[in-house]
Structure 1
């Protein structure tokens, strides 16, 4: 036997990545309902009183291998942090535990050679996976951009106008049309479901009218496309189609946003693009498109972005000149939603921005609900 060897943190992580499934199952043990899907291992968070599988996952492959996310709390970390999360360890103890798990305290020359080969093999596999992931992300981004550009930019007289009107959002009342939104008459819809009794996979494919929206990253490049499928209801009014997943996103939108309004400039027209905003600028960020369009009606001079999801509100990429953000709460009182919203508040505050929150004093009411209620009350009062 030979003495204890010294390894860098990156080398230790690479060793853990080389056997990531074993590591993941050891420090985040399988529970009732655990499953693996597209390289993500979903199980209970070992670091808190997690009651159901679904919000905590670990990447088992690709460029994010070893990374874990808890979308209920907004917490995340790498493979060493996973060990600390599981056992309640600090940084130095995490490394000590990792060394013990890997058997690095004492090793033979043969084991050292085998371990070095495993590290190199894992490195090459990760690099190949990163290239594949980057190529796939680029392909999907181009596909998303193509879908958006193929849609109709003029929303007036389209089902999008009628759908929004039913939500008390009149396009003609906006300071300027939201260029990020378009109408497409036939967007593909695909869904696969497994019959719980027979195990048969049921595939649904069709084309439906949809409101499509461009999702751009911090550099202003389209990286994804949001789709809201539309249909005429029994009352003859356009609304969301009766689908289990009526809103879908094509592409990776993390960090991106739907830029609905740049506000009003000093001469009354559109203000400069977000990337060129002056120091001290303020941005309003909401989750959904309808909430953010409602914000445009309430505060026409403000820059308004839709984050697409509550979890992404914390990650929206903003230029340095944005000094203040107003976060729109949908007033969801579910613990997971509350934790994710607080994570957004904390993330923007940590970035050095002043954070303000809009929240209705009525439980469960978002900004669009409030807008619809107030407009209905005004109509009743005028009658």
Structure 2
């Protein structure tokens, strides 16, 4: 898996250098406009909500304004072709005419100081952050109705986190979430920039951004066992962890990454707390089709997501709503956690 992660980074960089060719091949109905390729969605439908950067420092990065999904060109290929993690790597190698990607050499960071390593940068930022307890980040979550459980070591707070805008950098406080693989190794982070005046998200164009390798990984709350809950967003996952504190919950951070999650062999049943929109349905169906040998069930909120439900209906009604969607044999285990 570590080799796959390293190859994914190399492939993503190689695809970014050919971003225009990637877009023309996988999204032929789109069109070039300035530094972007514009299309309807990651499946290639006509429209103007999907923006892929095809030149410059952020070449290969994309965002769908209609769904909020974002990622790099590996993520786009995975969604466009409906592939799993390793299938996506194989497809990318085929596109790049790379039948085999060699193992990258193990070098000291001092041997190549000019090469930017986003995974290493993510680990440094997480290490430089502090405990979330008593910080602006905890107050932000409290404003979303979320009380942190004791198992929140994946969350930290950085009081002065750089935010890159179109002209340079700004500095805002940020909640930092560690994205890890199944072995607990940090592969990336997710940043939520915050406004110290309103205790809400910072007034910037993209108050949420990821750094590092997210594909297949997640933010984990609790030790994975034979039953777990997966969610799209961080606030949704934290809502579910608060309602069912003894159950492991993990956040994929977007619908695109939810469909690409890597599941542990020990997991026997997975409940997927998807958002109540078309992207959420597609992510759930993609995850279930990729893991056809697993027992996977959807949990559907009343509103757009379970955090919206929590703030509208309060904890007990939301807990009861979820219990009504569980298999009968799981109800005692879920309800006893409340």
With the shorter chain as reference, the TM-score category is 0.5 to 0.7
The SS at the match of 1:162 is helix
1:191 corresponds to which of 165, 178, 193: 165
Structure 2 equivalent of residue 245 of structure 1: 206
Q: Does 1:346 align with 2:289?
A: yes
Structure 2 equivalent of residue 311 of structure 1: 256
The SS at the match of 2:172 is strand
Is this contact kept in 2: 1:140–1:250, CA < 8 A? yes
Q: Report the CA distance shift for 1:355/1:137 in structure 2 as closer, same or farther (over 3 A).
A: farther
- Residue 50 (structure 1) shift: 3.9
Is this contact kept in 2: 1:212–1:225, CA < 8 A? yes
Q: What TM-score, normalized by structure 1, do the two folds share?
A: 0.59
Question: Hey, what's the Cα distance between the residues in 2 that align with 1:151 and 1:324?
Answer: 34
Q: Does 1:69 align with 2:77?
A: yes
Question: Hey, what's the Cα distance between the residues in 1 that align with 2:153 and 2:314?
Answer: 25
The SS at the match of 1:183 is strand
- Residue 73 (structure 1) shift: 7.8
The SS at the match of 2:290 is helix
- Residue 208 (structure 1) shift: 1.0
The SS at the match of 1:187 is strand
- Residue 69 (structure 1) shift: 1.9
Q: Report the CA distance shift for 1:285/1:373 in structure 2 as closer, same or farther (over 3 A).
A: same
Q: Report the CA distance shift for 1:70/1:322 in structure 2 as closer, same or farther (over 3 A).
A: closer
Structure 1 equivalent of residue 320 of structure 2: none
Q: Which has the larger radius of gyration?
A: 1
Number of matched residues? 276
1:373 corresponds to which of 312, 317, 320: 312
Q: Report the CA distance shift for 1:50/1:183 in structure 2 as closer, same or farther (over 3 A).
A: same
Structure 1 equivalent of residue 122 of structure 2: 144
Is this contact kept in 2: 1:73–1:339, CA < 8 A? no
Is this contact kept in 1: 2:179–2:188, CA < 8 A? yes
Is this contact kept in 2: 1:34–1:43, CA < 8 A? no
Is this contact kept in 1: 2:181–2:217, CA < 8 A? yes
The SS at the match of 1:308 is coil
Task: Could you list the structure 1 runs, at least 4 aligned residues long, displaced by more than 6 angstroms after superposition.
Answer: 19-24, 34-37, 44-48, 55-58, 64-68, 76-82, 128-132, 135-138
Q: Report the CA distance shift for 1:34/1:67 in structure 2 as closer, same or farther (over 3 A).
A: farther
The SS at the match of 1:355 is strand
Structure 1 equivalent of residue 219 of structure 2: 258
Is this contact kept in 1: 2:261–2:287, CA < 8 A? no
- Residue 315 (structure 1) shift: 1.7
* Ranges in structure 1 where 5+ consecutive residues have no aligned partner: 1-16, 83-118, 193-202, 263-273, 379-383
Structure 1 equivalent of residue 171 of structure 2: 207
Q: What TM-score, normalized by structure 2, do the two folds share?
A: 0.66
Is this contact kept in 2: 1:43–1:57, CA < 8 A? no
Question: Hey, what's the Cα distance between the residues in 2 that align with 1:66 and 1:161?
Answer: 33
- Residue 375 (structure 1) shift: 2.5
Q: Does 1:355 align with 2:296?
A: yes
Is this contact kept in 2: 1:42–1:57, CA < 8 A? no
Match runs of 1:1-383 below 5 Å: 25=24, 29=28, 31-33=30-32, 49-52=45-48, 54=50, 69=77, 71=79, 74=82, 139-153=117-131, 155-171=132-148, 174=149, 176-192=150-166, 203-233=167-197, 237-262=198-223, 274=224, 277=225, 281-332=226-277, 335-348=278-291, 350=292, 352-360=293-301, 362=302, 364-375=303-314
Question: Hey, what's the Cα distance between the residues in 2 that align with 1:67 and 1:166?
Answer: 32
- Backbone CA RMSD of aligned residues: 4.4
Question: Hey, what's the Cα distance between the residues in 2 that align with 1:186 and 1:372?
Answer: 29
Deviations 1:45-91 (A, max 9, x none): 89875444738999x99xx9999726378468789989xxxxxxxxx
